[in-house]
Structure 1
Amino acid sequence: MEVGEEFGPWLSRQLKLAGKTQAELADELGLTRAAVSAWITKRSVPRPTVMGEIAKALGTDLGTVHTRTTDTQAGLPITWYHRPGYQDGGRDGGNAAAFAFDADVQVLARETCQNSLDERLVGNGRPVRVRYTIHELTGEKLDAFRAAVLWDDLQPHYSAVSESAADQKVGRVVDAGVRDMFEKGRLVLLRIDDYNASGLTGDDYDDGKFAAVVRRQLESLKSGRGAGGSYGLGKATLWATSALGMVLINSTLSVPHEGRTERRVIGRLELPWRAVDGTPYAGPAWLGRPDPETPGAEVVRSWWADEETVERLHLTRDSEEPGTSFLIVGAHDVASLEQGKSDSVDDEDENGSDDDGTRDIRAMHRRLVEALGRDFWAAMTGGGSRLPLLETSVRTLRNGEVVIEEEKVDPTDTQPSRTRALRAFYEGTTVDRLTEAGQVALRTVPLRLPLSGGRRGTLGTHPGVLLVTAAEDDDGVPNQVHSLRGNRMTIKKSGVSGLPLGVNPFQAVLLVGQAAGETVPFAEEAEEFLRAAEPPEHDRWGQTEELTLRWSHSAHHRITRLTTEVNTAVRDLVVRPKSAGSQESAKLRKKLTVPRKSAAPKRVSGPALPELDGLDAEIGVGGEWQITAEVKLPRVDELPAMTPVVLLDVRSGSRPRLDWAELVAVEGCEVEDGVLRFTPRARRAVFRGSTDASGHPVRTELTRLVLELRAGTGE
């Protein structure tokens, strides 16, 4: 049961909604104005016998006056308020914040899910649950929805935008969205519901989460250093994903406002400057109830909607659990459109006469599932005493009928190796070095935190946690490090430099800040430092303006050193020492050969030359030969430059020479224009390279290879 609002503030608002004064109510009740004033100022409350008269005067029932959990039905009707044009003649071609992101549902998933993680209610220990619903409307369902959002009132504004669409990027998108809806007779809604979250609390205008999301731009009220967002830009992805620039909102609050928590509803429209019937409008508009406290009662505010209204607006929530529902009207995703076209044959085979629209929403569904599994696998993983922070799912409907059943994103399906690594860390089953399949190795890597304010020195060393395990086929790209901090969203994905070819595929996870453990030294300070090092996309750590202002222009070098420490630790864990006569060497010897010493004419005299001493090779995904070679260096003061030459082994005639696509030094040498120059006094050198597959005369799998090391330029 909701706790009703105090009588005085509730009555004051109802009088404003009904357009009555305190004196007029007093006259209707046969009481003095002082008596009504005492109710308004909370100095007294009316007697029970007077409650019925008050209900009659307000045009409502006695129960509404007693419970005060909703406004009376008397009042100004729900309408759209369009912000007037600037008096100084200024014009906006759209919301600049929306230009920071592409109209991409995978970007949307990343930003909105991050926001839900930041708003999770932590007291109960349960994860925040986020569900994405794709819903295509056609026919009568579409007509009913347009009536619910008062489309006839909006039509002149959309027409004005379409007339000037050629001059504005936003205008072109909106014009295409309107034409698509009417020409194809379809509209895609994308709703994001979160549960066990704080909801849009606070006043309509004063500082608070509601005003930060609905009224303001570039304002972030995220609390805690572990929060993901910091720029106040993430919410702009909601409007950027709408081809109509429209988002409707229904929030269930964790803290009552005006004595209520359920069905706080408002809509916001983002359009460029326009003129309708000679009247200029600045851009944004809001759907709500006119606020009688504003001049002319023109500005609208949120309202407490009834269940029938939220159902007509497709905003019905599943439970009374706190959280917010965002409905993106006219959701569009260019990547899904392209994917839908490429998958058309498969969809037709499975579903008979599947049309373009259904293929589009199926592709959108797949891309959402993929993005959630890729970016939030760690937040959805638990183990030991650590519980998951997040649950996500995606479902797809068409006119209320199920197209794709609700699909819960399972991190063990999307990221099996990384989830295994994280669980091993939580459960304390990691090892120092990988010796068996399925093991997870742990190393600590130092993040040396700088002093703030441009001061020289180190605040302290934060021990990040590096986890390494063997890769599985379902992990995607192998040999990558996923880095994350407090809210466990993947921030950075990077490869490891200096790996020899032929290394066993692996996956690595770097936990820093509170992700490494809340009791780890300098965890909070690391969170604050790395959060400042993230751009608005939150997809890397590096130099940012905030990092420079709060620390120094060289503070990002600390992150570079962390990356170096991580790469060194990974190489130490995954690169195996060479062993002569191994099974892999025996297999490679059949395909890859080194000319025998006896094959070359014996030198009567002359300087000692470097010699090939070991080889490792495999065929890459592009059909190229990938080779790692070891070179034994003689004990001489000066080593000549040598050129590695790769040839196809043939039965007769000269061996065709292949070109190198890549040739890099690993140890004891440098590569300059395809020539190896060895480090003085080194006894061993390693280089690696890959051939240019486009120049192979025959299919790589059918060839044998010869690698030679020639003096000078190799000719």
Structure 2
Amino acid sequence: MSWHYEKAPLNGGAPGDAYKSVFNGSGKNEAANLAREAIQNSVDAAADPGGSVRVDFRFRRLEGEARQAFETAASLTDIAVREPALGLPKSNAFRDRARPLDLLYVDDYDTTGLKGNPTHPSSNLRKLLMDLGGSGKAQNQTGSGGSYGFGKAVYSSNSRIGTIFAFSRTEDAQGAPISLLMGCAYQTGHEFEGKPFTGRAFLGTEVLVPDEGVRFDPLQGAAAEEMAARLGFQREDGLGTSILLIDTAVQPEDLVAGIEDWWWPRIEARLLEASVFDWRGEEYVPRPKQRPHIYPFTKAFDSAIGKAPDIAGRQQRKLFNRSQDLDIGALGAVVLDDSEEENPLGEDFENRLDTVALVRGPLMVVDYHQNWRLSATAPRAVGCFVAAEDVDEVLKLSEPPAHDRWDPTAQRLQIDGDEKTEIVKSILARIKKGFRDFQNSAKPPAPPRPRRLTKLERDLASWFGVGPKGRPAPPGPNPAPISLRPYGPRIEVDGDGLRATGHVDISLPEGSPVAELPFRVRILLKVAEEDGVSAADPIPLELEPDCPLEPLGEDLWLGVVTPAGPARIGFRSQAYDPSWTVQLVPEVLPVEEAAS
């Protein structure tokens, strides 16, 4: 197979690098753009519109013979001979032969694949790989994410040689199963051997169409499957599409962060499963609720969709009135627990304080929006606006190619007059007023109050002779000194939840005259809330003592401590919700003291 470079038409046309420059100046890093746009393409192709999809990002690193075999399979020599004229980064794979060749495969499942007649301009394959812009997607896919046909840009712009392959198992126009594979390169227009070229190239089948010219078609059927295997595609059974980015600079951890930052609403709605596999095959699963800068927005999202109740002065849902007989959507807002000393979202995310996450049909965050002055007195807060289905198409038309804001001045809104422009203006104005009204009426967060272990304080005061000023020390020697020292809890990730582990040491002081002392111990792990420890049941613990313990009921245990060393009791909790904050509450007292 050979790459076919497109000759420049006599009347000019878009060069290949025009297909990958749409995200320049977007303000987001490459991994974030890739996470946003690649998943959006898959969501738009969901087999069940509005249903769940799965997207895997799989990295592969090639060196030595493996790299050489791949370059032969991909016919990269055809591109390498033109490299000086293609406008590629200096660090591209053709110039830097010493470093490994990094590949990235993006595989989606529960989608339709690139359906349609692959030789016809209306097919999804040709729209993905060959069209630039166009309004067909905007007109034909209500509730979709994309509408410009620039989705291909995110793939080619993350290849240092501007080269990708698309492999899809789908159905043709008659509904019959079909496999498709095609390579595309998007590079600078250039001259080669005295002839001008657009910078676009295709690896597939060259078809001469009488009176029209040359058409480039994908490989089909067994030929597509064979080439996919040589290129390292590893699709599971079922319909769907895989995109291969050759010579990528994207890092796995940045990709995980991009998925968490922009797709957390769909993840929280359980409509997106995403995984990132690094070069060693280690899997990373995005967990947005475990990120301090995202978790408050998930609470605002729950509020906006009516999943969480209003809490006076702390959390509120605002359902906006209809406009032009259309449902608008709802705003959820929450006050942040913070202090003057630190940013509750983390020092790297100060720009998201007092912002509202804008969300519509695909459940991607379009923007962390703010167009108002920050208040010096109102408590800091975040919000989430979830648009109603009635206005989804209007908001989609207001988005630029990068889909990163709602712009009431967008020209596509004005095709039918000013009606759609006014809807977008109204939505943004309502978000601003609703969020500011919430902030102004919200109560500053109460500082967390530590739970005092009153019984333990009294016991320790009695045993060690410590007490408030003015209280006389107890007469005579302390007959039964004992101490408890907690270590933990340490928090560990366990699947979709968390576990707490640690231990407590119960000991007698050195030189104690007591040979042994029975004690009662209770170790609880409670769920902390904003106003202290909740009344909810404690999280069950599995104890691992290094001394005999006898159950006494009601979470009480009987043990014995000696001067030889501490009695150590390890603990491990059951898995619990990652959104919970937990507090260890240990209590110990001698049997004699308890009996009195």
TM-score normalized with structure 2 length: 0.64
For residues 91-119 of structure 1, what are the alpha-carbon distances to aligned partners after superposition, in whole Å with 9 as ceiling and x for unaligned? 76533232211382211221111111111
Indicate which of 110, 113, 119 corresponds to 2:39.
Answer: 113
| Cα distance change, pair 84–242 in 1 and its aligned pair in 2 (3 A) | same
Quote the offset at 1:495 in angstroms.
3.4
Q: Indicate if the aligned counterparts of 2:88 and 2:187 stay in contact, CA closer than 8 A.
A: no
Give yes or no for the alignment of 1:395 onto 2:277: yes
Indicate which of 241, 244, 258 corresponds to 1:324.
Answer: 241
Indicate which of 460, 469, 484 corresponds to 2:325.
Answer: 460
Quote the offset at 1:152 in angstroms.
2.9
* Residue identity in the other structure for 1:391: E
Greater RCO, 1 or 2 (C-alpha within 8 Å, sep 6+) = 2
Residue 533 of structure 2: aligned partner: none
Q: Indicate if the aligned counterparts of 1:212 and 1:220 stay in contact, CA closer than 8 A.
A: no
Aligned length: 425
Describe the SS at the equivalent of 1:465. Answer: strand
Structure number with larger C-alpha Rg:
1
Q: Indicate if the aligned counterparts of 2:304 and 2:384 stay in contact, CA closer than 8 A.
A: no
Correspondence 1:669-684 to 2 at 5 A: none
Residue 408 of structure 1: aligned partner: 285
Q: Indicate if the aligned counterparts of 1:249 and 1:327 stay in contact, CA closer than 8 A.
A: yes
Residue 427 of structure 2: aligned partner: 562
Residue 297 of structure 2: aligned partner: 418
Quote the offset at 1:499 in angstroms.
5.3
Indicate which of 269, 272, 285 corresponds to 2:185.
Answer: 269
- Unaligned residue ranges in structure 1 (runs of 5+): 1-77, 165-170, 334-363, 383-387, 449-458, 515-522, 585-715
* Residue identity in the other structure for 2:335: A
Indicate which of 168, 185, 188 corresponds to 2:99.
Answer: 185
Residue 415 of structure 2: aligned partner: 549
For residues 536-588 of structure 1, what are the alpha-carbon distances to aligned partners after superposition, in whole Å with 9 as ceiling and x for unaligned? 11111121111123332x86454344333333333333335899xx999xxxx
CA distance in 2, matches of 1:197, 1:389: 13
For residues 574-632 of structure 1, what are the alpha-carbon distances to aligned partners after superposition, in whole Å with 9 as ceiling and x for unaligned? 335899xx999xxxxxxxxxxxxxxxxxxxxxxxxxxxxxxxxxxxxxxxxxxxxxxxx
CA distance in 2, matches of 1:228, 1:538: 8
Residue 430 of structure 1: aligned partner: 309
Q: Indicate if the aligned counterparts of 2:378 and 2:442 stay in contact, CA closer than 8 A.
A: no
Give yes or no for the alignment of 1:241 onto 2:158: yes
Q: Indicate if the aligned counterparts of 2:111 and 2:239 stay in contact, CA closer than 8 A.
A: yes
Give yes or no for the alignment of 1:505 onto 2:380: yes
Correspondence 1:50-199 to 2 at 5 A: 78-87=1-10, 90=12, 93-102=15-24, 104-122=30-48, 126-158=51-83, 162=84, 164=85, 171-173=86-88, 176-182=91-97, 184-199=98-113
* Residue identity in the other structure for 1:434: A
Residue 490 of structure 1: aligned partner: 365
Residue 576 of structure 2: aligned partner: none
CA distance in 1, matches of 2:15, 2:421: 35
CA distance in 1, matches of 2:439, 2:433: 10
Describe the SS at the equivalent of 1:236. Answer: helix
Quote the offset at 1:416 in angstroms.
2.0
Give yes or no for the alignment of 1:289 onto 2:164: no
CA distance in 1, matches of 2:425, 2:175: 51
- Unaligned residue ranges in structure 2 (runs of 5+): 338-343, 448-596
CA distance in 2, matches of 1:496, 1:377: 23
CA distance in 2, matches of 1:573, 1:540: 23
Q: Indicate if the aligned counterparts of 1:202 and 1:208 stay in contact, CA closer than 8 A.
A: yes
CA distance in 2, matches of 1:463, 1:297: 49
Greater fraction of residues in helix: 1
For residues 462-514 of structure 1, what are the alpha-carbon distances to aligned partners after superposition, in whole Å with 9 as ceiling and x for unaligned? 34211122336458433221111111111231237355435433221111122
| Cα distance change, pair 276–536 in 1 and its aligned pair in 2 (3 A) | closer
Indicate which of 405, 415, 419 corresponds to 1:540.
Answer: 405
Describe the SS at the equivalent of 1:95. Answer: helix
* Residue identity in the other structure for 1:537: A
Indicate which of 116, 120, 128 corresponds to 1:213.
Answer: 128
Give yes or no for the alignment of 1:377 onto 2:264: yes
CA distance in 1, matches of 2:212, 2:371: 63
For residues 290-335 of structure 1, what are the alpha-carbon distances to aligned partners after superposition, in whole Å with 9 as ceiling and x for unaligned? 4476799975421223655322212221x122111111112235xx
Q: Indicate if the aligned counterparts of 1:135 and 1:188 stay in contact, CA closer than 8 A.
A: yes
Q: Indicate if the aligned counterparts of 1:548 and 1:555 stay in contact, CA closer than 8 A.
A: yes
Q: Indicate if the aligned counterparts of 1:134 and 1:188 stay in contact, CA closer than 8 A.
A: yes
Identity of aligned residues (%): 23
Give yes or no for the alignment of 1:469 onto 2:334: yes
CA distance in 1, matches of 2:65, 2:156: 25
Please provide the CA RMSD for this pair.
3.2
